[in-house]
């Protein structure tokens, strides 16, 4: 039985699995990581899989070659909110080519809107809601065994005799060690040098050490629609074994990215993992996503284990807004965290967003001044991005603040983030203008330029990273 797992062609360097899917000004391109996890489990159970990333150079040509020579029984297609019309178009084309194949759509967007997708688009046979490795496996087993009754596959929404069926919600995967290393799938199906994270050294490999986030930020896409608000770690032994595998098999390689929703939720587990990494044969740097509430002692051991950089969502410089979005932190703790990270020798990529219900011209300027005060190694400024299935999306929809008519309007023509909301306090144009100005002012500050030059003179790898990121960024700074 043959299975095609597809990240469909769309805009060049479009990252569907990014937390806010888009083409980025920095040139970042995410791995199709969740598709890769599913492919690994399917192959481990005897299925013949082909994973194609259609957004990398040569990806669409590879897809054409495949469709001209193969006849898949199951086609699993990744989706995202901004690309959903394109993704549905590819699903229709593939259904026309292979009418006997089961078309399964996956990803956060269809997890939130599964029933309407299956109801409105007859060429879509089903949707997987949430993590889909075992949904895909059970569906593949049913197809292989000729079973027509799919009612026992929890997490699946599908069509049966013209009616939409929504099976029971699936429990989140607890035993993450039961899923094969995603890096093995990368090695077999992808070219790791196609992928680039602007804040990381290049080349990079991205993996998960845990899934889910126990915090309740009202804007965050994956915990609310896909991976859940229940924290589930892999075993320490499994993570270290994969890190050693990566270092031994991927060449060249400069860094590993831990793409957990929040890497350091359990500080005791973090310390245990760091101690195991220190004792292991793995000696490459790593970066991670985390919250601004780690102790200095934990930051020090993270540095010893190889942590080079942390991506942190600071979001706002106004406490009232942090409370509204349920960030569960305060401005003083954020400033203390940044000072401690700097003392420990860990760089910070700071993320800021504007356009919440509480924002106005005064508060967004507070956010920019706060970003300047933190003075992190890199920073990004975005209008708030809303996605179906999140609390913030429901708020905006209820109040009539969403000002676009198509999901494609979540992006500009070039594929960059577009502002889709206007509130009584701030128009969409206000928010876009602020973010462009904030980005320009932040990166063109003399003190920032001097700091990056000094960093480049003392560290060759950082110099290479800085030059590549600066080239990508300057094109957009000049344009906007």
Q: What are the pLDDT digits (tens) for 179-201?
A: 999 999 999 999 999 999 988 99
Secondary structure E strands in 16-85 = 48-53, 74-78
Give the N- to C-terminal CA distance of the chain in Å, as an integer: 50
Distance CA 222, CA 205 (A): 20
Q: What does the pLDDT look like over 3-27, one tens digit per residue?
A: 999 999 999 999 999 999 999 988 8
Share of the chain above pLDDT 70, in %: 95
pLDDT of 238-285, one tens digit each?
999 999 999 999 999 999 999 999 999 999 999 999 999 999 999 999
DSSP 232: E
Assess if residue 161 is contained within a domain.
yes
CA distance 407 to 81: 6
Q: What is the pLDDT of residue 91?
A: 99
Least confident of 6-15, 48-57, 302-311, 438-447: 438-447
Let me know if residue 130 belongs to a domain. yes
What residue numbers bound the domain in which 135 lies?
Answer: 2-166
What pLDDT is recorded for position 447?
81
Of 226-230, 281-285, 407-411, 460-464, least confident by mean pLDDT is: 460-464
Q: Is the peptide bond before 469 cis (omega within 30 degrees of 0)?
A: no
Distances from the Cα of 213 to the Cα of 219, 220, 230, angstroms:
13, 10, 6
Question: Could you tell me if residue 303 is inside a domain?
Answer: no
In a domain, 279, yes or no: no
C-alpha separations of 263 from 271, 294, 310 in Å: 12, 11, 9
Q: For residue 143, tell me if it sits in a domain.
A: yes
Instruction: Give the Cα separation of 339 and 24 in Å (integer).
Output: 28
Residue 75: which CATH number?
3.40.50.2300
The answer as to whether 262 is a domain residue is no
Q: How far is CA 265 from the centre of its chain?
A: 18
* DSSP run (H or E) holding 216: none
Residue 217 lies in a domain: no
Please report the pLDDT score of residue 451 as a whole number. Answer: 75
> Is the pLDDT reported for residue 480 higher than 60?
no
Across the chain, mean pLDDT equals: 94
pTM of the model: 0.95
Across-strand partners of 349? 311, 378
Question: What residues contact residue 248 under an 8 Å CB cut-off, 6+ apart?
Answer: none
In the prediction, which pLDDT does 453 show? 76
Residue 92 clears pLDDT 80, i.e. is over it: yes
Q: Are 1 and 142 in contact (CB under 8 A)?
A: no
Q: How many domains does the chain have?
A: 1
Supply the pLDDT for residue 357.
Answer: 85
Three-class secondary structure of residue 255 per DSSP = strand
Query: Does the pLDDT value for residue 119 go beyond 60?
Result: yes
* Range 236-240 contact pairs with CB under 8 angstroms and sequence separation of 24 or more: 236/269, 236/272, 236/273, 236/276, 237/276, 238/176, 238/177, 239/209, 239/273, 239/276, 240/273, 240/276, 240/277, 240/280, 240/282
462 is a domain residue: no
């Amino acid at each position: 039985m043959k299975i095609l797992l597809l990240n469909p062609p769309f805009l060049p360097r479009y990252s569907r699995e990014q937390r806010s899917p888009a083409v980025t000004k920095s040139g970042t391109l995410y791995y199709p990581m969740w598709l890769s996890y599913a492919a690994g489990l399917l192959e481990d159970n005897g299925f013949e899989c082909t994973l194609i990333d259609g957004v990398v150079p040569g990806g669409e040509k590879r897809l054409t070659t495949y469709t001209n020579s193969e006849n898949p029984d199951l086609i699993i297609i990744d989706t995202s909110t901004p690309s959903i019309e394109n993704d549905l178009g590819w699903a229709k084309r593939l259904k026309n080519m292979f009418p006997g194949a089961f078309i399964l759509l996956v990803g956060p967007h269809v997890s939130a809107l599964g029933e309407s997708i299956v109801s409105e688009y007859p060429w879509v046979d089903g949707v997987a809601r949430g993590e889909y490795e075992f949904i895909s496996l059970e569906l593949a087993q049913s197809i292989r065994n000729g079973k027509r009754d799919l009612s026992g596959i929890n997490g699946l929404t599908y069509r049966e005799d013209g009616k939409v069926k929504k099976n029971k919600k699936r429990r989140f995967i607890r035993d993450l060690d039961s899923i094969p290393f995603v890096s093995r799938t990368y090695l077999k199906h992808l070219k790791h040098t196609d992928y680039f994270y602007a804040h990381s050294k290049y080349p990079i490999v991205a993996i998960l050490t845990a899934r889910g986030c126990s915090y309740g930020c009202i804007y965050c896409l994956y915990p609310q629609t896909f991976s859940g608000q229940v924290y589930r770690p892999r075993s320490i032994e499994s993570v270290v074994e994969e890190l050693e595998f990566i270092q031994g098999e991927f060449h060249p390689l400069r860094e590993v990215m831990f793409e957990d929703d929040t890497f350091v939720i359990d500080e005791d587990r973090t310390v245990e993992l760091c101690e195991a990494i220190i004792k292991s044969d793995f000696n490459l740097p790593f970066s991670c996503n985390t919250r601004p509430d780690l102790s200095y002692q934990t930051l020090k051991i993270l540095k010893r284990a190889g942590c080079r950089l942390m991506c942190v969502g600071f979001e706002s410089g106004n406490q009232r807004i942090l409370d509204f979005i349920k960030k569960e932190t305060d401005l003083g703790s954020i400033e203390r965290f940044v000072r401690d990270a700097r003392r420990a020798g860990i760089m910070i990529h700071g993320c800021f967003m504007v356009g919440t219900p509480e924002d106005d011209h005064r508060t967004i300027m507070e956010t920019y001044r706060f970003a300047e005060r933190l003075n992190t190694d890199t920073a990004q400024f975005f209008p708030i991005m809303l996605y179906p299935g999140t609390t913030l999306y429901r708020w905006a929809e209820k109040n009539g603040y969403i000002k676009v008519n198509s999901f494609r309007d979540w992006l500009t023509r070039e594929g960059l983030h577009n502002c889709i909301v206007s509130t009584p306090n701030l128009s969409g144009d206000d928010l876009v203008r602020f973010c462009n100005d904030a980005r320009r002012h932040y990166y063109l500050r003399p003190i920032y330029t001097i700091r990056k030059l000094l960093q480049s003179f003392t560290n060759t790898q950082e110099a290479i990273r800085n030059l590549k990121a600066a080239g990508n960024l300057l094109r957009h700074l000049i344009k906007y």
